Structure 1
Amino acid sequence: MTPPKGAPRALSPTRDHQVGLPARRAAASLLDAVLQKRQPLDDVLARARDRGYMFDLPVRDRAFARAIVGASLRRRGQIDQVLTTFLERGLPAKSGSLYAILLSGAAQLLFLETPPHAAIDLAVRLAQWDPRAQRYDKLVNAVLRRVAEKGGAIAAALDATRVNTPDWLWSRWVQSWGEERTHAIAAAHLIEPPLDLTVKSDPALWAERLSGRVLPTGGVRLLPKGRIEELPGFAEGAWFVQDAAASLPAQLLGDVAGKRVADLCAAPGGKTAQLVLAGASTVAVDMSRTRLGRLGENFERLGLKVDTVQADATTWQPDERFDAILLDAPCSSTGTIRRHPDIPYLKSDKDIAELVALQTRLLAHAVTLLKPGGNLVYSTCSLEPEEGEAQIAALMARNSAIHLDSIRPDEPFGGTEWAKNSGCIRTFPFDLQLGTPEWSGMDGFFVARLKLAG
């Protein structure tokens, strides 16, 4: 196929695979899509693997590309300050992928211990490959050489937790949680998170097989090592990926065996699978056909069956009401930045306001789908009180028939610090300390359990 006029030149597969250029090209392309086009990293990664720059990359090169992207996003504040020091005239306008090339090159030099000659030479080649950036190839060379020589000292002198957190999030968290806790949140975001699994049975066995450890939640935690699809137990559906905090909402519905339960906004289906495994007669509702398709694929691998409904959960009218409802609502996802370091650069205060309005509608309608005496668990993977505590307070102020079914401190698997005086759960990225930073942490979640008057 002939590339469009002005498209980047093709690379030599044999030689470029040997020198690592395709992995760096993929990393720069991913960063450009996230930071310039504001596309979610998971989406652009999926496209790159299916039909893009990562399609024919060896596993090792794919991992390297992801490592570059992760370091670039987690440490963007530090890297930007280092680059600004050496870009005397600032970043040239209309320079194509120049910023992504400099950002990813500096990330390799400052945080991935890449040999300078490799990081710099290949960054220059990337610039020469992009028609809009190629005239700045000498600038790339000069700036990254200075980064290699002096950038480490500049980066180390900065407050990493502060400069790597965008101002809009920092000010929000300081107001909501205080300066000390905000520093702890931001520090957790700088660490590559472990991988958490919910297993269908025998957590101890799977912890041993996967060289992991059993969590207080009953899941298994392991350090990332290669492709998830190649781990023992994946193909036979013995487990599914789910952060420790994300496993709490479904479990806090209690004994759901034999009960009719609706999981609203269900895809990709981790919480739905928990409900099915617990014996609930479950209906999974999501308005996205694509996301429901992904849920179906996950359930096929797990060997589980569930009724699915494609519908808007703010207006859906089933034939009968439910004993229990799980509403893990769409949210800003600021509690998952440790796993999704693109979020600070994709979301804004305006997005949060729009999501709060959606959550309000979802909650109000979910209550109408409950049988008298039924339970509703509401959760968000957000650190913003407007999407958690304030939503529940507002719901109970509007509807006197619904009241808080307080979560006891001993319910979340001994995690007494997660159950607050409010009767709700609030976890932070720095919670669940397991000895060393790489084994520790969990997503930031809010969970409330409500009951409708009988």
Structure 2
Amino acid sequence: MNHRPGNRRPTGNRGNERPQADPPGVPARRAALRVLDAVLRQGKALEAALDNAAQGLAPNDRGLVHAIAAETLRRLPDLDAMIDSATKQVLPEDAKARFALRIALVQAFALGTPSHAAISTVLPLVDGGPRKLVHGVFGTLSRANKGLPDQPTLPDPVAIRWHAAWGDGGIEDAERAIAAPPPLDLTLRKPLDLDDATSLMPGHARLPAGTSVTELPGFESGDFWVQDLAASLPARLIGPGKGHALDLCAAPGGKTLQLAAAGWDVTAVDVSEPRLERLRENLGRTGLNAKVVVGDLLLWKPEQQADAVLLDAPCSATGIFRRHPDVLHRVRPSMIAEMAELQAKLIDRAAGWVKPGGTFVFATCSLEPKEGEAHVAPFLAAHPEFAIDPIRAEELPEGVTPREDGTLRTLPGMIADKGGLDGFFIARFRRTG
């Protein structure tokens, strides 16, 4: 049985009564504990939790915090199974001892940290608590040296949902996909000579995971931006143009940049001012132009209809679990249902902003059918002026094929031998009247 954090704070010393500064290495582990607590107990996104927990840490330590937290989240069911195999009584889900053991074990068995360093930097996290228990369980598991499975186990609720949607093969593909961080994808404005890069489509480059983006040639001059290959497909499917395009829910802005580079006069709309700031920075770096608007799409509306509308709708984001393993643990059916309801409202509004003869692309970075496939039939029934504009195989990377109805579903097993894809659903419609 897998044990996952519930709704209580990890018990034990909170760390605010420490009589002296932490020894070297401990602050990063303490920050990792705070990140995991924020994700697993409070349901916060990993990146947001990291920003809060790693304040004041050096960049290298911040990177270590992210590595520990992300790898723990990738392998949480297997780490908990290890812990439960070595304790006489099951540790409470919110016990700080369980959190501390997860951090120690993931370092020793997944990140290559020497065992003595993995445990010595974690024991201070349970000062005033069950240090002997943590030390003893870690020692037992280290001596047994059974290690973690090559392919992480998905959390039970996720496995149940995805098995119903994608079958045994989908589960196996997802577990293979989460075993390691994915490669880095770039969308290129012009051809670049990049070491170790492969190209799966025109204007695309794929580099090994861990590549430093800011050190690549062409970064300062704005010759590329970071964008998963699957995330680049919705804008690619709109194609080049000289009319007006709306990019709805635009932040952080990769699709806006694509549309602007393809010749569109773009209006980018998003409800989040902080997230739009990143878009403005990328517009400045690349020299591309777009009108940026802060607005709630349930209240905002354009002054006139557009030739192309791209709605990359808010969703559970379960399709980007390779980069953001926190979604495997914080997304609940209630969130999926809430997002699906919001998506339906946004689709209905956005459809009215498309000119007759124009293109409407709806996309979500979700692996949940309720947030993708389930919207198509109700939308077409409610909007007979639209028809599916079938996505063609030649518009996609080799090995990625559209569905029979002309929509596209990308899954973790697609082009796995070339580094894989995030999970997306994309439908392209044409307004016929």
TM-score above 0.5: yes
Which stretch shifts more, 137-146 or 426-435? Answer: 426-435
Match of 2:402 in 1: 419
TM-superposed deviation, 1:217: 5.1
**What's the CA shift string for 1:138-177, capped at 9, x where partnerless?**
1111111112112525x44xx945xx21222211211111
Letter of the 1:245 partner, please give it.
A
| Corresponding residue of 2:107 | 108
Aligned residue type for 1:143: V
Of 6, 10, 26, which aligns to 1:21?
26
Q: Percent identity?
A: 39
Q: Deviations over 1:267-286 (max 9, x none)?
A: 11000000011110000011
Partner of 2:4: none
Partner of 2:77: 77
2:423 aligned partner, one-letter code:
G
Alignment of 1:389-408 (within 5 A): 389-408=373-392
Measure, in 2, the Cα distance between the counterparts of 1:226 and 1:343: 23
d(CA) in 1 for partners of 2:218 and 2:274?
25
Note closer, same or farther for the CA distance 1:93–1:288 as it changes in structure 2 (3 Å cut). closer
Aligned pair partner of 1:443 in 397, 422, 425: 422
How many residues of Structure 1 are paired with residues of Structure 2 in the alignment?
420
Which letter maps to 2:164? Q
Counting only pairs closer than 5 Å after superposition, residues 245-284 of structure 1 correspond to structure 2 as 245-256=230-241, 258-284=242-268
Contact 1:168 1:349 in 2 (8 A): no
Asked if the contact 2:170/2:413 (under 8 Å) is kept, the reply is no
Structure 1 residues 124 and 187 mapped into 2: Cα distance closer, same or farther (>3 Å)?
same
Looking at structure 1, the residues matched to 430 and 382 of structure 2 have their Cα atoms a distance apart, in angstroms, of 15
Question: Counterparts of 1:279 and 1:85 in 2: how far apart (Å)?
Answer: 59
Q: Equivalents in 2 of 1:11, 1:200: separation in Å?
A: 53
Question: Which letter does structure 2 place at the counterpart of 1:72?
Answer: T
> What is the CA distance between 1:92 and its match in structure 2?
5.0
| Whole-angstrom distance in 2 between the partners of 1:274 and 1:380 | 17
Distance 1:93 1:392 in 2: 40
**AA in 1 matched with 2:251:** A
Q: Aligned in 2, Cα 1:290/1:326: closer, same or farther, shift over 3 Å?
A: same
Shift of the 178–217 alpha-carbon distance from structure 1 to 2, 3 Å rule, reads farther
Give 1:22 shift: 2.8
Distance apart, 1:451 and its partner CA: 0.8
> Partners of 1:274 and 1:82 in 2: how far apart?
46
Tell me, which stretches of 5 or more residues in structure 2 are unaligned?
1-13
Contact 1:322 1:370 (C-alpha < 8 Å) held by counterparts: yes
Q: Label 1:47 to 1:418 Cα distance change in 2 as closer, same or farther (>3 A).
A: farther
State the alpha-carbon separation in 2 of the partners of residues 8 and 234 from structure 1.
45
Match of 1:31 among 33, 36, 48: 36
- Normalised by the size of structure 2, how large is the TM-score? 0.91
1:428 aligned residue (411, 419, 427): 411
Residue 9 in structure 1 maps to residue 15 in structure 2: no
Match of 1:341 among 319, 325, 329: 325
Map 1:163-182 to 2 at 5 A: 164-182=153-171
Residue 387 (structure 1) shift: 1.2
In structure 2, the CA distance between the partners of 1:58 and 1:334, relative to structure 1 (3 Å rule), is closer
Contact map agreement 1:405 1:449 (CA 8 A) in 2: yes
Task: Using the TM superposition, give the Cα deviation of residue 425 of structure 1 relative to its aligned residue in structure 2, in angstroms.
Answer: 1.2
Mapped pair 1:319 → 2:328: no
The equivalent residue for 1:194 is: 183
Paired residue secondary structure (2:325):
coil
Counterpart CA distance in 2 for 1:141 and 1:87 is 12
Shift of 1:336: 0.7
Q: Which moved more, 1:107-116 or 1:331-340?
A: 107-116
In 2, distance between residues paired with 1:45 and 1:175? 33
Rounded Cα–Cα distance in structure 2 between residues aligned with 1:9 and 1:418:
57
> Match of 1:131?
none
CA separation of 1:215 and 1:93: change in aligned 2, threshold 3 A? closer
Structure 1 residues 225, 182: closer, same or farther in 2, change over 3 A? closer
Partner residue in 1 for 2:278: 294
- What pairs up with 1:107-146 in 2 under 5 angstroms? 107-128=106-127, 134-146=128-140
Cα separation, partners in 2 of 1:230 and 1:137, compared to 1, 3 Å = farther
Of 219, 227, 245, which aligns to 1:242?
227
Match 2:206 to one of 193, 211, 221 = 221
CA distance in 1, matches of 2:383, 2:59: 56
Matched-pair contact (CA < 8 Å) for 2:15–2:125: no
Cα distance in 2 for residues equivalent to 1:298 and 1:443: 22
TM-score in terms of structure 1 length = 0.87
C-alpha contact (below 8 Å) 1:124/1:141 kept by paired residues:
yes
| Match status 1:47 vs 2:52 | yes
> Aligned partners of 1:242 and 1:11: how far apart in 2?
44
CA distance change for structure 1 residues 70 and 271 in 2, over 3 Å: closer, same or farther? same
Letter in 2 for 1:124: L
Distance 1:45 1:223 in 2: 23
Q: What SS does structure 2 have at the residue aligned with 1:213?
A: coil
Task: Tell whether the 8 Å contact from 1:426 to 1:446 is kept in structure 2 after alignment.
Answer: yes
Cα distance in 1 for partners of 2:341, 2:365 equals 16
Tell me, which stretches of 5 or more residues in structure 1 are unaligned?
129-133
1:377, distance to aligned residue in structure 2 (A) = 0.6
Q: Per-residue CA shift, 1:88-122, capped at 9, x if unaligned?
A: 22225875x43321111111122223211111122
Cα deviation for residue 418 of structure 1 reads 2.5
